Amino acid sequence: MKQVSGGVTAPKGFTASGVHCGVKKGKGDVDQPPMGEMPEVPEGKRDLALIVSEQPCAAAAVYTMNRVKAAPLYVTMDHLENGEAQAIVANSGNANACAPNSRAHAEEMCRLAAQATGLNPGDFVVASTGVIGQELNIAAIRAGLPACAAALSKDGSDAAANAIMTTDTVKKEAAVTCTIGGKTVTIGAIAKGSGMIHPNMGTMLCFVTTDCAITHELLSDALHEIVPRTFNRVTVDGDTSTNDMCVVLANGMAENPLIEWKDDGYTLFYQALYSVFEQMARSIAADGEGASKLITCTVRKARSEETAERLAKAVVGSSLVKAAMFGSDANWGRVLCAMGYSKAPFRPEHVDVKFSSAVGELLVCRQGAGVDFDEETAKRILSQDEVVIDVDLSEGEHEATCWGCDLTYDYVKINGDYRT
């Protein structure tokens, strides 16, 4: 497996683009920009993205488990009933959720994208992200899609990644290659996610492309097996969005032997897809709203993977742990406290806890009791960009890793006036 550049356009046959059409307000924008007249792109204001394959794709998706779902998810579900798609259209700045005309606007986005690209409306996955409850400015999208389609290119992944960002501070993009049946297969991805992220699906928006030849059924199997071990192990703030979606398109243009059984080819594809998803999950956790550091918690030697996951999720999701990490305070008691209310079975008297980072590691708890440690050393370890909380249960052979971020003053600032 090899890391490569290019994001969603790294696989053969995919192009992408991202423009500013006016859903996000930039200087000089009007509510209904004239057709074909695109506002100049203000920094950080791209708000309309396209991803298009030259050929029809096997397609699979997972969606938020929030009972309140945005209209684009229902439209996408309908379009993917046959297991196929060829393109993605997405906007940021407005979630098109719980809003007037939301279903009609989601369907109109597909119709307009089809008109601009020469495809059919049913070929499109549609997604939106942003403020809930406000009517989508469909006039801006209508005006913007011709220019967005004209901008499609093999270098367009960066623009598309930026166009789906909301409170994100950095784009999320990755791509890997592997060899299957003597052919180079590439998987690329872009994602957005910073707040309203909690492990209850696949979080955020994530668009994945691949030129692998694989059946819809096995593509769906891989997606549904990997999401619980990657995206579902991320938490930023305990909130699960109405718009979360992860979708994979596979156009088969690598010309590898079709993967239709869970053989060696499937295993290689699975490992590559897992690698991409793990990178995206870590990127999202690290860029949590207001975050200053990534928190990784690995629970080892558990009775089951489920137990390890529940314990690790409780630790990275604890507001007290997150606040302690923000202050670089080695308050390991908060780790055990979070584990204790997780309802997962474990014996506290057997637990060891270590804090580590790029500058070293420090044992802070042995067999459920504190040990002497140097506070200055702890402060130095916990002041790094990524802090690892390592928990050893000494009870079994299973483990799980979950990701989160610290809780800073900026999280409240960002969300105190997000709508206005």
What SS3 state is found at 238? coil
DSSP element (H, E) containing 362:
strand 360-366
Catalytic-labelled residue, pool 203, 210, 235, 307: 203
d(CA 105, CA 119): 18
3-state SS of the chain is CEECCCHHHCCCCEEEEEECCCCCCCCCCCCCCCCCCCCCCCCCCCCEEEEEEEEEEEEEEEECCCCCCCHHHHHHHHHCCCCEEEEEEEEEEECCCCCCCHHHHHHHHHHHHHHHHCCCHHHEEEEEEEECCCCCCHHHHHHHHHHHHHCCECCCHHHHHHHCCCCCCCCEEEEEEEEECCEEEEEEEEEECCCCCCCCCCCCEEEEEECCCECHHHHHHHHHHHHHHCHHHECCCCCCCCCCEEEEEECCCCCCCCECCCCHHHHHHHHHHHHHHHHHHHHHHHCCCCCCCEEEEEEEEECCHHHHHHHHHHHHHCHHHHHHHHCCCCCCHHHHHHHHCCCCCCCHHHCEEEEEECCEEEEEEECCEECCCCHHHHHHHHCCCEEEEEEECCCCCEEEEEEEECCCHHHHHHHHCCCC
- 64 labelled catalytic: no
Residue 370 φ then ψ, to 5° = -70, 150
d(CA 157, CA 189): 9
Indicate the pairing of strand 245-250 with strand 205-210. parallel
Residues labelled catalytic: 203
